[in-house]
Amino acid sequence: MLAASLSHVTKTYGTGALAVAAADDASLDIVANRFTVMSGPSGSGKTTLLNLLGGIDRPMRG
Q: Closest Cα partner for 58 from 6, 3, 2?
A: 6
Residue 58 counted as domain residue? no
Is 59 a member of any domain? Answer: no
Residue 61, domain member (yes or no): no
Count of structural domains, the chain: 1
Is 90 exceeded by the pLDDT of residue 45? Answer: yes
Residue 28 is assigned to a structural domain of this protein: yes
* pLDDT confidence bin for 15, thresholds 50/70/90: very high
What is the DSSP secondary structure assignment for residue 16, as one 8-state letter? Answer: G
For residues 45 and 16, give the distance between their C-alpha atoms in angstroms, rounded to a whole number.
20
39 falls in which pLDDT band (50, 70, 90)?
A: very high
In a domain? residue 62:
no
Domain coverage including residue 20 = 2-53
Spell out a b/e string for 34-59, using b for 16 or more CB atoms within 10 Å of the CB, else e. Answer: eeeeeeeeeeebeebbebbeeeebeb
Does some domain include residue 32?
A: yes
In a domain, residue 45? The reply is yes
